[in-house]
Every structure is written in structure tokens, then in C-alpha cells.
Chains A and B, each alone.
Chain A
């Protein structure tokens, strides 16, 4: 199957770290992604990781991949109010052109 699951909501205080989790079921996925969607807007690619890696860091963002458990996480360090958005994980399937998205996690950053 190609279901990708995420928890629906996460609330953190400004300055804390946020960790958004994702589980997927397609073991043949080559790339896994994190997208950010602000209200009424399109999807912004934040970062992605190749399936043979287990970690990728990009400034405040850290992606961890546990391929054995099919678990992907996104850690945002020093979370800011501007990070409030919906975060989607996605996996690349279907021979390399199809993105299958998770259900999305709404991150709320409180002062």
C-alpha cells in the first residue's frame, strides 16, 4: 500500500523544538520529502532525503529516516511563529514521478 500517515496537530512554544512524525508503507520509495503549506497557499518544498540516508540537516531542519520502521521525522529547531503551517510528508512512488502525500500535520507555534 501507499498510505502515508501523520498526526493531525502539534502545538509548541516559540523557541522550542518541533518534531513532526510520518509513517509510510511503500518500502520502494526512493525519496521522501517535507513540504510546508501556509493558509491558502501552495506547497513549499522544505527538504528531502534519499532513501539510503538516515539523516539530513539543513539549517534549522533535521530529517531523520528509519527505513526499517518506515518512519520519517522533521525536527525544527528554535521554532518561530512564522513556522506555523501545515507540514506534509511525501514519498516518491510510481516509478519516480508520483508524490504520495501524508495527511498533514498542523503546527501551531504559541508565544
Chain B
């Protein structure tokens, strides 16, 4: 009964090689979020989509982009990954009328 699904769970990419992480949801929630969580740190919001409206956090590097082709799917694109981008990337969803965010299991990204 997975509700927020992230694929892959583990991703290895090379320095500078573009990588895409994916998130899908079966909750029909209209808001989807991407968080970055570095080792032993708190999750930090990168951006979110409210329906089709993209909302970028002010301190999110330009290297990070996102796409939401439909309600169910959201992608995180890292154009030129650096060693400092190695982290767990967490996708979350919420209904616009609810203050509860539901998280996926995360994708752990390694940059070599």
C-alpha cells in the first residue's frame, strides 16, 4: 500500500553527470515537495509544486531543477552533481487543505 514511492532507493552518479530522481504518489495530493537531507542533518526544503505552480526556495542552487508532468509524478534533476550534493533526497506530498506532509522512503545519492 505504498503511498509515496521514490525510485531508485539508491543512486550512484559521477561528478558532473546529470541525474534524475523520481517520485510518484497514489494519494492524489496536489502539493509535492523535494527535501535534501545531508548526513546527520535536518531535511531542508529545496522546492515544491502547488498543483502546477513551482515554488523554489531562495537558497536552492540553480543546479537543482524539478518537473511535474502530472499530479502523480515529480522529478528532481541535478544538472551537474558535485560531491557536496551527496545526500538523501526525500519527496513528500500534502493535500492543499491539509497540513500533513507524507514522506517517501528517500533516494540516497552518491556522487563519485
Contact = CB atoms under 8 A, between A and B. Distances in A.
A44 B42 CA distance: 14
A97 B42 contact: no
A104 B42 contact: yes
Interface residues of A, number: 22
Interface string B13-29: 00000000000000000
Contacts, number: 52
B90 A43 contact: yes
A103 interface: yes
B64 interface: no
17 contacts: A4-B42, A30-B99, A35-B103, A41-B106, A42-B105, A44-B103, A45-B102, A45-B103, A88-B42, A92-B99, A97-B48, A98-B45, A99-B45, A101-B42, A102-B42, A103-B41, A104-B41
